[in-house]
Amino acid sequence: MKLQQLLSQLRQAVDDFDMIADNDTVAVGLSGGKDSMTLLYGLKQLQRFYPKKFQLTAITVDLGFQNFDLEAMGQFCSQLQVPYRIVDTQIADIVFRARKESNPCSLCAKIRKGALNQVLLEEGIHTVAYAHHRDDLIETLLLSLLFEGSCRSFAPKTKLDQTGITVIRPLLYVREADVKGFCNRYQIAVTKSPCPMDGHTKRAYVKGLIRQLNAENPGVKDCLYAAALKNFRQQV
């Protein structure tokens, strides 16, 4: 995927769901993975010509894994001239050692988001961008159906009532395969996740299931995506 295509899909999502306000400050939750690195890069380029002026900052919640390389992310932000902050936590110790959770992802996500939101409130930032893309939307819908008995997925834009923080997902229209292609084309260095659960979660299982379903029935992914968007629009 070329930059022009990324910016087109990025801007369409931002416009369609009114994600960015004039004079807003948008914090990107930067994990070092391909999705968040692409999101930050894309928003930085969008910032140059988008009619609504906004500022960018990047925040990484360090879970406390010893082999998590933060240097590449810092260099990336420096090259883009985006302010960067690292939030130190002991989430890895809490989840894997103290609590010894058999299904740690839910607790980890809850604590991680809490740490991020606390920093946003301290900095007076009210908009945070998550790097969920088109495939994430589909996977979340199927996870909800299979393991919760409900039909829902995340919304493109969500205001958190308790904090007043608005979560936006500008990569909503971008396919995961295109994100991978974008990182390869523009040589964006990706930091591998040090989490021992990486690749062994229910989401990874559902990702494989969707791949199989779409191979056997071409077009299934597009149908699931349309259903997820329709479900959201019905809710609002």
CATH 3.40.50.300 fits 3-235, yes or no: no
Please give the average per-residue pLDDT across 24-40, as a whole number. 96
pLDDT in tens, 139-153: 998 888 888 887 778
In this prediction, residue 233 carries a pLDDT of: 65
**Residue 234 in this model has a pLDDT that exceeds 60:** no
pLDDT tens-digit readout, 198-222: 777 888 899 999 999 999 999 999 9
Q: 158 in helix, strand or coil?
A: strand
Domain residue ranges of the chain, discontinuous segments joined by +: 3-235
Q: Check whether 86 has a pLDDT greater than 90.
A: yes
**pLDDT single digits (tens) 122-140:** 999 999 999 999 999 999 9
- Tell me how far apart the alpha carbons of residues 236 and 91 are, in angstroms, rounded to a whole number: 34
Cβ pair 60, 85 in contact under 8 A: yes
DSSP 170: T
CA distance 153 to 234: 12
Neighbours of 177 (CB within 10 A): 12
Distance in angstroms (rounded) separating the CA atoms of residues 83 and 81:
7
Whether residue 197 has pLDDT greater than 60: yes
What is the mean pLDDT of the segment spanning 78-99?
87
